[in-house]
Amino acid sequence: MKAAVVTELGAPLQVRDVPVPRPGPGQVLVRMEASGLCHTDIHAARGDWPVKPTPPFTPGHEGIGVVEELGEGVTSRAIGDRVAIAWLGSACGECRHCIGGWETLCESQQNSGYSVDGALAEYAVVAADFATPVPDGVSSTDAAPLTCAGVTT
C-alpha cells in the first residue's frame, strides 16, 4: 500500500510502499477514503514538540474509511462500517481520567499519526472502541476535518 511516511524529523514526507497493517486484538483495519491535514501533522513531522514521535511513522488523525477487517475480540464494529480515525487513537479505559470521561487526559493514550501510525495511507489500524461511526448523510471529505475540529471544540 502507499503511505505518507516521516522517515526523519524535519525532512519532507515521502510516499512509500509499505505493508498493509494487520489489526491486533481489539483493533480494526480501515481502508481510507479521505483524510484531512492538520497543522499537528506538520508539527509531528518537524518534531516541534517536547515529546517527539519516533520515525518512521505515518501522520494523520483526520481520517475516514471503511472497516475491512476485525481483530480478535472486536464486537463494537463490523466489516463495512464507515468510521473516523481521530487524534485519540486509544486510551487505557481504567485510569481516573478515563473513568471520569476525560480520556483525552489519559497518560497511556495513543495518538493517531503521532505515537501510532495514522490515516495518511491507503489503510490504517485503529482501536475498535475509538473508531467513531460516521453517519451516512455526511460525505467522507466533509467528515474528515471534523475528527480533529470536533475534538478541539
**Would the pTM of this model clear 0.95, i.e. be above it?**
no
pLDDT tens track, the chain, 153 positions = 999 999 999 999 999 999 999 999 999 999 999 999 998 899 999 999 898 999 999 999 999 999 999 999 999 999 999 999 999 999 999 999 999 999 999 999 999 999 999 999 999 999 999 999 999 999 999 999 988 865 554
Answer for the pair 37, 74: CB distance below 8 angstroms, yes or no. Answer: no
User: What domains are there in the chain, each with its CATH number?
Assistant: 21-36+59-152 (3.90.180.10)
Rounded distance between C-alpha atoms, residue 67 and residue 79, angstroms = 5
Answer for the pair 44, 142: CB distance below 8 angstroms, yes or no. Answer: no
Rounded distance between C-alpha atoms, residue 105 and residue 90, angstroms = 11
Place of cell 475498535: 128
Question: Would you call 40 helix, strand, or coil by DSSP?
Answer: helix
Rounded distance between C-alpha atoms, residue 14 and residue 6, angstroms = 7
Rounded distance between C-alpha atoms, residue 29 and residue 71, angstroms = 8
